[in-house]
Amino acid sequence: MIALDNSRLVVSRLLLCSQEAAWQVITDTEQWPYWGPSVSRVRCAQRYIQLGSTGSVRTVFGFWVPFSINRYQHLHFWSWRIGRFEATGHRLAITEDGFCRISFDMPWWAFPYVLICAIALRRISRLLEAGQA
């Protein structure tokens, strides 16, 4: 599903898993290269990010860019800055029917990145279904 929320694009997917399991995957820097199409490696002092975590990601193009976690609420959301730019937000919510909705949001001008996020959501779903997370 793709939507516009407060001038940010949102792409989301329903998962049949616990909020804790999904949170573990999206906050585990060792998992990012498995589900993030634009990330090939991660350097971070913490395996599981938290507010203020910093590090760098190696892009699929081979160069490293710094990141910092600038918003974080355990089991609910985190967002980051890539270099000087506000990047994607990552959100989790439990629906009334017991599904876990995972959403990525980004500035409207980054609309081509919606496709990358949709691929990432599919990969996260596969990791959780296969029990590899």
Q: What pLDDT sits at residue 24?
A: 97
pLDDT digits (tens, 9 = 90+) for 100-124: 999 999 988 888 999 999 999 999 9
Q: What pLDDT sits at residue 133?
A: 56
For 120, the domain range is: 2-130
| Cβ contact 72:90 at 8 Å | no
| pLDDT tens for the chain, residues 1 to 133 | 777 677 789 999 999 999 999 999 999 999 999 999 999 999 999 999 999 999 999 999 999 999 999 999 999 999 999 999 999 999 999 999 989 999 999 988 888 999 999 999 999 999 999 875 5
- Give CA–CA dist 47/92, Å, rounded: 19
Q: What pLDDT sits at residue 132?
A: 58
Token pair recorded at residue 93: 């919510």
| Cβ contact 129:121 at 8 Å | no
Which pTM does this prediction carry? 0.91
Question: What is the rounded (10 degree) CA torsion for 105, 109, 111, 117?
Answer: -40
Number of domains in the chain: 1
CATH of the domain at 88: 3.30.530.20
